Structure 1
């Protein structure tokens, strides 16, 4: 079985995708981005995913991994963050498989980014408990124990002052409240200190677009665990989804033998 798959990252504002070379954990072609349809209903998003895939000349049997901003259990969306509430209860796997004609495997978006970091990025070969946190419009988290994913942790949604913690510490909160790096770091200190108290990670990896500016805020944090920037930046979701799809396709092929 080849070491290739296709990864798609569904977000509240854009849907991005590209083929991935899983030998080195890198995009095999320039990624394509299409704005997320508004309203972002299941049918509208499924059509956009099919459009994105159709823009690439890929084999019919190439597995496709898709990230989705929700708790995903057995392919079904149990929540809806930054997409239409009509996704709740939708079998995302089945919908996208039917609409695209490819075997589609869906995963929580932060879990996908975490998978990429564990396999190819800052968490590669790290033993113990690793926490991956993505700071963007919201806060996504992925938790690993000796390289094994504990899915759907959603630690960005810990209650804080009557709302989710992500409303206070996300990169969007930094921009909304016009915080300088030091003021934002104070908020992050409280958040990551709480997570450290709860799960005692051996390593914390910070991803999301703002991770490329990590020198402005990570050195300001005082934690027991090392806290480092993600290695794959914004490509992590695409790469992680593709890695998941290849593993799932390989597992299904073995069961079919």
Structure 2
């Protein structure tokens, strides 16, 4: 693929079954890597690493970062007590991804957050989360349960980077019971009909965007194409 930019994708660390094995594994749904490849990038999976300095070393070798979906963020990270429905947070993953975001800021790396990734980016910026969105909106459409995705329409903000990539409105697949309550340094650029913030982006030349939905499940080429283009520019200008 020649000079195709390398896009790092954070991963789950879970017990998984394949073949004759049932063991802890570092994994990510294939759609993430497939969507990066379809947009012209080279995907690189980034499992949690505890070693000091590892995040900076990784960021120096990639051209963009995707903070992927997954479990709830530890409420202690934003000074809250756990809601009864908040569960399963992964301290190792929280620490790793926050360190990656620190290093990405230092390097000026393009970043895309997806679902949990958007929530973690808000927390990294000093924001907070609503821990159970159905309490606020009165329905379960954002996460119907099990392995099903909700299908919702979101309206994007005119003039935003997101709107340029996906249009004025878009139907998306979502699977989240939490959502972003506050997001210092970011502007809300998409909302669902019930008012839930569905995307945010940072002002300025650096590409930092996050969506609450799962674009990889529909291979939404607009978002990944935008990230890969930003990654290519980052690499070309010596950002690495």
| TM-score scaled by length of structure 2 | 0.35
Higher Rg of the two aligned structures: 1
TM-score (normalised: structure 1) = 0.34
